[in-house]
Amino acid sequence: MTDAAQTGRVGLALGGGAARGWAHIGVIRALKDAGIEPAVVAGTSVGAIVGSMVCSEHLEAFEDWVRAITRRDVVGYMDFALGNGGFIQGRRLMKRLQETIGEHRFADLQRPLGVVATDLYSGQERWLREGDLATAVRASMALPGLFTPVQINGEWLADGGLVNPVPVSLCHAMGADRVIAINLNDGLLGRHIQAPLESVATADAQSADDSAAPGMFDVIATAVNVMQDRITRSRMAGDPPALLISPRVEHIGLLEMHRGAEAIQAGYDSVKQMGAAISAFNDG
């Protein structure tokens, strides 16, 4: 880290965005190249997954796994749970993630991590910073209608993106003086998104025909995009980051985890294209 980057405690706010979140890996790698490493990390949904890897120092092994994911692997991770609050239980995916990260609690991490989730019944934002790491991450990624919610301390928790898609505020609450925010939802509005399951099951990764009527998953995905875009804009207006990075990953579908190499490169490139802003951040 450069001397200039040490003038304030740096926080990294990793936003939600499902499979687009693999771009976080590339962003983090490029920031490290620029001499910037966070003192604290906060993550929502897939940002919580990547954040857990950063703070447990397993990011390199995690990147290797992400790059190796195939379309067949993605289908294999889908343990369907119709009638149980969502279509996918997420146990298979979490089991695979735990093989990389190991059995960890927040107290075991090498640097502070905060995870955002939403109390389904009260609508209140929950900041998870203690207890079992995998359970907290699983709750944060429980996208309503897709992944089943998780019960923690008697509360049913769902995706943190419902209340705080890019958790700048949590970074500040954890003691960060300057926050770098990564927003994965820029450019999504106005796109007719191919149904998540269809995009994984077929080789066609292009956006669906705008003239086609939206299906159920299309409606869910698009509604989430609209909601998160509006919430992100509102929250950042009141609590802006020192640096905002928005990788161009809007073309990657909700569950297209097999496009990891593409997303990682997009994240890396997004930082490299911000040379002046990165230099200004390093200058404090």
Report the pLDDT value the prediction gives residue 69, as an integer from 0 to 100. 96
Structure tokens at 50: 């990547």
pTM (two decimals): 0.89
- pLDDT tens readout for residues 198-224: 555 545 444 445 566 777 777 777 888
Q: Residue by residue, what is the 3-state secondary structure of 183-231? A: CCCCCCCCCCCCCHHHHHHCCCCCCCCCCCCCCHHHHHHHHHHHHHHHH
Q: How far apart are CA 279 and CA 34, in angstroms?
A: 8
pLDDT of 86 strictly over 60: yes
Q: CATH number of the domain at 4-275, please?
A: 3.40.1090.10
Q: Which residue has the higher pLDDT, 217 or 272?
A: 272
Structure tokens at 119: 């109390």
Q: What are phi and psi of 113, to 5 degrees?
A: -130, 135
- pLDDT tens readout for residues 232-258: 999 999 999 999 999 999 999 888 999
Which residues have a catalytic role annotated?
45, 159
Which alpha helices (H) appear in 34-159, and where do they start and end? 46-55, 59-68, 71-76, 91-101, 133-140
Question: Exposed, middle or buried by CB within 10 Å (0-12, 13-18, 19+), for 40?
Answer: buried
- pLDDT tens readout for residues 116-173: 999 999 999 999 999 999 999 999 999 887 889 999 999 999 999 999 999 999 999 9
The identity of residue 35, as a single letter, is G
Which H or E run contains 44?
strand 40-44
Q: How far apart are CA 101 and CA 6, in angstroms?
A: 28
Q: How do the domains of the chain map onto residue ranges?
A: 4-275
Q: How far apart are CA 134 and CA 132, in angstroms?
A: 6
What percentage of the chain's residues is helix, strand, coil (to nearest 5)? 45, 15, 40
